[in-house]
Amino acid sequence: MQFIGTKYHRNLGASSVCDLLRLLLYVLLVLVLKVFAVSLLLSSGLFRQQPADDTSAILENIPWKQQQTTPSIRTPEPGWHQKQEVLSRLEETSTSIVATASNRTPDTLWLFYNRIPRTGGHTLVALLQTLGADLDYQHQEHAYRTSWQRLLSAEEQKNLATWFEYNLWPKTYDRLALFVNFTAYRSSYERQRPATVTLLRDPIAQFSSQFHHRRTHTDTAKKNMAAREKQSPGSGRRWYWRGLEACVLEEDDECLLANGQPDFQRSIPFLCGQHQRCLLRGERWALQRAKFMVEYEYSVVGVLEEWNNTLAVLEHYLPAFLQGATQRYWSIEHAEDRHKEKNPRKSKPLSSRAIRVLKSKLGLEYELYEFCKQRLALQYAKVAPLLQHTTPLPPLKEPKKQLSAWDRFQIELNY
């Protein structure tokens, strides 16, 4: 009996080893077949499709199978040479970027909203969150675990591009970050890049909102007051109660806005992109580069003061993410998320003198603001015919009867 039991256990062990070897061979065969199938698909060019960019007409005669996706001299994307030529001339004072109504939205599953501080970002994020359930996409808010990393390293930009590539489901993502050139950092096998949008605001209104936000946001106000009190007792309280008018006219450090200094609070750096020169105040090259990015890279740059027009353009230029935005924004259910001035401290309007001083210091910001307003107006004019009612109202069969005072009295008696 002991001999039989030992023989049985040996046979059972040999059978288990054979089963394990067969399983390993099967898994290895499946992996080899999958790798072979993917390599065939990639080499066949079946994944390459013509993008929806207006600049695709430049290369319409080139077979799509011969085109690659990475922006290099050997493998340019549609319109790449045209954009590089304009970029190379930004240093020239005679170079001008012309605003058009061109739709630069690529064929993509992803949307990147690089938010600019104090420009109504919470309003657009709320729309993206509520529309996601209806349009079958997910919105991802950036988790700010550290200080705002608005100037990203090359590795961080590559990681962000890779994060989008790993999302096989439609996704929108918002972050307080400078413009990221996803074309330069996407993988060699990836043909898509995220569409990009943002919002602008009147520069003085934006500067005023930032000034008051530093005093009304509890954590920010405490840090600023503590730092000033440490240097000079009483200076923190004086800073807290300082008005914007006095700050501008008396040229406090907070309102000096000297040229050549880095500044993360303006709009130009966020549209210019990940370059040290983009951060400097008074840098005309940064303004030219920001205009270039607006015209050639952004689907829509909305304007807070032109909010209804912005919603209409967003709906038609990015229907996959913002279709129905106007109706949702003005619905009763969305009333709590509409744009509001959230600064609880009411301040006096600035005098004409203070406005002139600020406008002179924010001259480049206003030039960019007017450029974006012009582009938005052209885009709105392009979609405006789609907003008109197609069915005319029926004419009245006869002129409306004029009621006398006695007729109106009779009607009241009948009721």
Residue 318 domain-assigned?
yes
pLDDT of residue 230: 92
Q: How many domains does the chain have?
A: 2
pLDDT of residue 81: 73
Is 51 a residue whose pLDDT tops 50? no
| Phi, then psi, of 172 in degrees rounded to 5 | -120, 145
pLDDT of residue 29: 82
- CATH code: domain of residue 261: 3.40.50.300
Domain co-membership, 186 together with 38: no
Q: At 163, list the tokens.
A: 């994060």
- Please give the model's pTM, rounded to 2 decimal places: 0.75
Domain co-membership, 19 together with 58: yes
pLDDT of residue 3: 47
Q: pLDDT (tens digit, 9 = 90+) per residue, 162-208?
A: 999 999 999 999 999 999 999 999 988 888 999 999 999 999 999 99
Domain co-membership, 257 together with 369: yes
Q: pLDDT (tens digit, 9 = 90+) per residue, 311-327?
A: 999 999 999 999 999 99
pLDDT of residue 150: 77
Residue 71 domain-assigned?
no
Which has more pLDDT, 150 or 147? Answer: 150
Residue 410 domain-assigned?
no
Confidence of residue 240 (pLDDT cuts 50, 70, 90): very high
Q: pLDDT (tens digit, 9 = 90+) per residue, 58-105?
A: 333 333 333 333 343 334 566 777 777 787 787 776 678 999 999 999
Residue 83 domain-assigned?
no
Q: How far apart are CA 408 and CA 57, in angstroms?
A: 66
Domain co-membership, 166 together with 266: yes
Is 212 a residue whose pLDDT tops 70? yes
Domain co-membership, 95 together with 62: no
Q: How far apart are CA 90 and CA 331, in angstroms?
A: 44
Domain co-membership, 151 together with 186: yes
Q: At 52, list the tokens.
A: 């929806």
Domain co-membership, 45 together with 96: no
Going edge to edge, which strands form the sheet with 171-175? 138-141, 171-175, 110-114, 195-200, 300-303
Q: pLDDT (tens digit, 9 = 90+) per residue, 244-290?
A: 999 999 999 999 999 999 998 999 999 999 999 999 999 999 999 99
pLDDT of residue 393: 55
* Cα within 13 Å of Cα(252), Cβ side: 13
Q: At 352, list the tokens.
A: 């004409």
pLDDT of residue 86: 81
Residue 291 domain-assigned?
yes
Which has more pLDDT, 39 or 89? Answer: 89
Q: What is the mean pLDDT of residues 103-120?
A: 95
Q: Quickly count: other Cβ atoms within 10 Å of residue 112's Cβ.
A: 23
Which has more pLDDT, 411 or 286? Answer: 286
Q: Which residue has the tokens 């004019």?
A: 381
pLDDT of residue 324: 93
Residue 225 domain-assigned?
no
Q: At 19, list the tokens.
A: 């089963």
- Residue 382 lies in domain: 89-209+241-387
**Which residues, including other chains, have CB under 8 Å from residue 186's CB and lie 6 or more apart?**
69, 70, 161, 165, 192, 193
Domain co-membership, 268 together with 378: yes
Domain co-membership, 167 together with 106: yes
Which has more pLDDT, 189 or 14? Answer: 189
Q: pLDDT (tens digit, 9 = 90+) per residue, 216-238?
A: 988 989 999 999 999 999 999 99
pLDDT of residue 74: 36
Q: What is the mean pLDDT of residues 360-383?
A: 97
What region, left, alpha or beta, does residue 175 occupy, with left being phi > 0 and alpha being psi -120 to 50 degrees? beta
Residue 15 domain-assigned?
yes
3-state secondary structure the chain: CHHHHHHHHHHHHHHHHHHHHHHHHHHHHHHHHHHHHHHHHHHHCCCCCCCCCHHHHHHCCCCHHHCCCCCCCCCCCCCHHHHHHHHHCCCCCCCCCCCCCCCCCCCCCEEEEECCCCCCHHHHHHHHHHHHHHHCCEEEECCCCCCCCCCCCHHHHHHHHHHHHHCCCCEEEEECCCCCCHHHHCCCCCCCCCEEEEEECCHHHHHHHHHHHHHHCHHHHHHHHHHHHHHCCCHHHHHHCCCHHHHHHCCCHHHHCCCCCECCCCCHHHHHCCCHHHHECCCHHHHHHHHHHHHHCCCEEEEHHHHHHHHHHHHHHCHHHHCCHHHHHCCHHHHHHCCCCCCCCCCCCCCHHHHHHHHHHCHHHHHHHHHHHHHHHHHHHHHHHHHCCCCCCCCCCCCCCCCCHHHHHHHHHHC
Domain co-membership, 166 together with 18: no
Residue 223 domain-assigned?
no
pLDDT of residue 337: 83
- Of the candidate ranges 39-43, 168-172, 207-211, 410-414, the one whose mean pLDDT is the lowest: 39-43
Which has more pLDDT, 256 or 33? Answer: 256
The residue from 10, 33, 66 where one domain ends is 66
Is 412 a residue whose pLDDT tops 70? no
Domain co-membership, 193 together with 121: yes
Instruction: Check: CB of residue 369 under 8 Å from CB of residue 362.
Output: no
Q: For the chain, what is the mean pLDDT?
A: 82
Confidence of residue 360 (pLDDT cuts 50, 70, 90): very high
Domain co-membership, 196 together with 313: yes
pLDDT of residue 233: 92
pLDDT of residue 46: 37
- Of the candidate ranges 106-115, 156-165, 341-350, the one whose mean pLDDT is the lowest: 341-350
Confidence of residue 27 (pLDDT cuts 50, 70, 90): confident
pLDDT of residue 282: 95
